[in-house]
Amino acid sequence: MAATTFTCCRCGKDKKSKLTVSIRDEWDLLLCNACYGLLLSIWEIKAGDLEDSERHAELTRLLHGLSGEAEVEQARTVLLARDSRSTLLSAPALTMLATAEAVADGFAVKMATELDWSAAVIGLCKAVELEAVRLICDPLRHAVSDLDLASDLADRDFRRMAQFCKRGKPIELGTLAHFLEAMARSQNAASSPLASALRSLALQWPQSDWLFEADGFVARVRTLTKNYRNPAAHTALLSQVEYHSCVEVVQGRDGLLWKMLTSVDPARR
């Protein structure tokens, strides 16, 4: 079998191989072995039996393999120039956004695979999670560092937040949303050291009511996870349209990232 010379439609590099992979049986959309292996790895994670937290972590790790450092740095520069609010983000969150954008920008309009867009969507959602942990969870952990959280550790609704605060167990966006929701409906919220500490912290935040409003933080997170993060992390195939829709939810004029910053960052009083 003679080797075929072609340009990989994902990485854009000229390749020569005896075996090629086409996208949707279109022979002008060929993948090199490296890109095919990377996309196959992503699919295996999405279709596997990992716990959601482990699946998200693995997809985030692979996301960084979809673009180079130069492309990420260029995307970071564009983000900072396009929206001055980006300067308020933590370095990890900004890097995650830049990585997602670099991955998306690297696709020609008709050459992007659905798996590529799913990986980019995961990056957007991870950026929101990083900022939520920095702005809400980490201050709460510091506030309760000297408190006895035995009652919260024994409570079904507050246990995972208590484990984060006392044992450093990683926490996800959905867990934070569940905790805030439980503060409003749980009969144990009045006696919960965690809930009491968060209420005290909220007094220091400029627009903290948004955290607990019916159409506030929890509702926004539920939309993000239901419509974007969960489908991207499982076997759904997300399109370019859905990626840009997620960008709007996360970074739009009233995006979740900016709403968090203006609501709970004491520096923005």
CA distances from 147 to 119, 158, 162, 232 (A): 39, 15, 11, 38
Report the pLDDT value the prediction gives residue 265, as an integer from 0 to 100. 75
DSSP-assigned states of every residue in 148-191: --HHHHT-TTTHHHHHHHHH-----HHHHHHHHHHHHH-TTGGG
Q: For 55-75, write each residue's pLDDT tens digit.
A: 667 767 766 666 778 888 999
Q: For 152-193, write each residue's pLDDT tens digit.
A: 999 999 999 999 999 988 899 999 999 999 998 888 889 999
Q: Is 1's pLDDT higher than 60?
A: no
Q: How far apart are CA 183 and CA 100, in angstroms?
A: 33
pLDDT band (50, 70, 90) for residue 110: very low
